[in-house]
Structure formats: structure tokens, C-alpha cells
Amino acid sequence: MPPHSLDVRPEVAAALKAGQPVVGLSSAAIGHSLPWPDNLEVARLAQSAAQGEGAILAVIAVWQGRLTVGLSNSEIEALAHGASTRRAIRRDLATMVVRGATAATAVSASICIAHHAGLSLLVTGAIGGVAHGAANRLDLSSDLVELSRTPIAVVSAGARSVLDLEQTAEMLEGYSVPVLGYGTDSFPFFYERPTNQMASARVDTPEQAAALLRTHWEMGGAGIVVAQPTPEQVALSPDELYPAFEDVKKQAAASKVRSRDFPPFLMERLNRLTKGRAIRAYRAILEANARLAAQIARALASK
């Protein structure tokens, strides 16, 4: 990556040089998916959770044409307050740089930026995957492609609940991307507890996760998904979640919502249909994932 386009902020660079634990945070939730002020509160909760484990949480975004790792508090607040409505995937990074744009970064773009900055772990809510009905058409997230080629671990609450979980797991298997179920044998869905889809391996401690990550990368492996189920106290039941999803999908089809605009459309309506429980769950998920990523980063740094 051209050095002029990558901006690793001094605090992050110093921590990496000293071998201290640093984890990245995909900024899509801050600048695209969640409404104000929930998006800013989520970012602060995640930062506090990582700091409580002795790690730095670096928010990743494209900021005025620079691929930035470690947005300042004022920049995070500006992004949360609508400094840009753009959401960049991996494909869009060169365009954002050349145009001097500001954009929140989805998982695939955040993976790329984090890796070039020297990070090993990235925090997000959920990863993308294969859409329902994709058997007869190509409809898969760039998250899976980037995981297949970039050695980084993405700590998430599993795959987005609107996806085909079985097809997503098969695609990850085909790309040689392990799914580590943290404290579970299954590959969970975002918002829900464990599912019937098995993870490729189970780990129960940050040290176990770190050992597996380290060995995978020593053997030339690329991405890894660390899937921690949604905290039990805020998880939504399938009976509650799926009727709400179907309602929102019908509304999106009627309104001709583009796929890249679907996440904020989904969140606003899903939160209303679940009487605020969707955003409460999102907050708890990001906080728990940031804490776990920091613990794993600390275990990696100790060896």
C-alpha cells in the first residue's frame, strides 16, 4: 500500500512498535448503520471495553482521502454526526483515496487497512456472507473474499441474520477460513444465540484462541472468524426476529432500497419493531466483542 495513503495515528503506531495489544474497529456501524447518538455511544463503549483489558481500540475509516487507523475522538464524533454517508468496501478504497473522500469502512475495507497497518484483530458486529437464494446467482459479501486472502482475525457475533448461514459456512470452508466458536460449538447468527450450524473449531479462552490464530498464520493461513454469540441477556429469539426481518424486507422491496443502503434501513425499522431491543443488543455485542478482541490481542502479545 502506498505510504502516503495510509495514516496510522501516533498512539497506535507507538503501541504497535512497543508490541502492545491493539485492535481495530470497523467504522460502518458508526458512520452508516446506527442512528445518532447510539452510534457514538457504541464506539465509546467498545473503546472503554478494550481499554479495560489493556488494549487500544483503533477506529478505522477513510478520512479525507487517507486510510486511517485510530480516528481521534472528535473525528469519531464527526463521523457519527454525519461527516459522511459513504460506506466503503474493499473495492472502493482507491476511489476514496483519489477523491480525498471521507467514508466509514465496512468489514472488507477495514480488514485491508488494518492488515497494512500491522494489526492482527478487527472488531465488528457481524460479517457478511451468502444471501438467501444465491444458488442461481452470485451474491456474496466482499467480507468473505477479503478473509480468504488477508491474515487477520475478525471478532464478531457471527453472520448477519438475513443471510444463508449454511451457504456462508460452506463458502468460508471453501476459502480455508476457520470459524472459531467462542464458548460455543456453533456458528452463531447476529442477534441470536448459537445455531445448528457447526463452527470449524471451539475455543473457550483468549489464550486458546491466540494459540490457534498464531499457528494458523505460521502455517500460511489467511483470515479467521472468531464468532462469539450475542450476550444471552439481550439476544433476540427467532420467533421475534424473523417476522420482523420479513416485514422489513417487504418494506425495502416496496421502497426499492439499494443493497448498500439496506443496513441503516434495516436497523431503524428492526429497532422499532423490536421496541428498542435491536439497538440494545447491538450495543452489548460491540462491547463484548471489543473486550474479547482485546483479551486475545493481549494473549498474542504475551508470547
The per-residue pLDDT for range 230-280, each reduced to its tens digit, is 999 999 998 888 888 888 888 888 888 877 777 788 888 889 999 999 999
DSSP letters for 84-101: ---EE-GGGHHHHHHTT-
Write out the E strands in 137-268. 153-156, 179-182, 201-203, 224-227
Q: Cell numbers at residue 156, please?
A: 464478531
The model's pLDDT over 25-46, given as tens digits with 9 standing for 90+, comes to 999 999 988 999 999 999 999 9
* pLDDT of amino acid 1: 67
pLDDT number for residue 211: 98
Q: Give how far Cα 144 sits from Cα of 180, 211, 266, Å.
A: 15, 23, 21
Distance CA 273, CA 77 (A): 27
Pairing of strands 66-69, 6-8: parallel
259 against 81, higher pLDDT? 81
Reported as type and span, the H/E element at residue 23 is strand 22-26
- Please give the residue that has the higher pLDDT: either 266 or 120: 120
Written as one letter, the residue type at 146 is E
CA pair distance 86, 102, nearest whole angstrom: 7
Q: What is the mean pLDDT of residues 213-237?
A: 97
Spatial distance between the Cα atoms of 271 and 294, rounded to a whole number of angstroms: 28
Is residue 122 predicted with pLDDT exceeding 60? yes
DSSP-based three-state secondary structure for 7: strand
Please report which confidence band the pLDDT of residue 2 belongs to, taking 50, 70 and 90 as the band edges: low
* Per-residue confidence (pLDDT) for residue 193, from 0 to 100: 80
**Which cell numbers hold the place of 202?**
471451539
Q: Quickly state the pLDDT bin for 57 (edges 50, 70, 90).
A: very high
Annotated domain spans of the chain? 3-301
Please give the Cα distance from 47 to 287 (Å, whole number): 8
**When comparing pLDDT for 66 and 250, which is higher?**
66
The CATH homologous superfamily for domain 3-301 is: Indigoidine synthase domain (3.40.1790.10)
pTM of the predicted structure, to 2 decimals: 0.94
Count, in order, helices (H) and strands (E) of the chain: 12, 11
What mean pLDDT, rounded, does the chain reach?
93
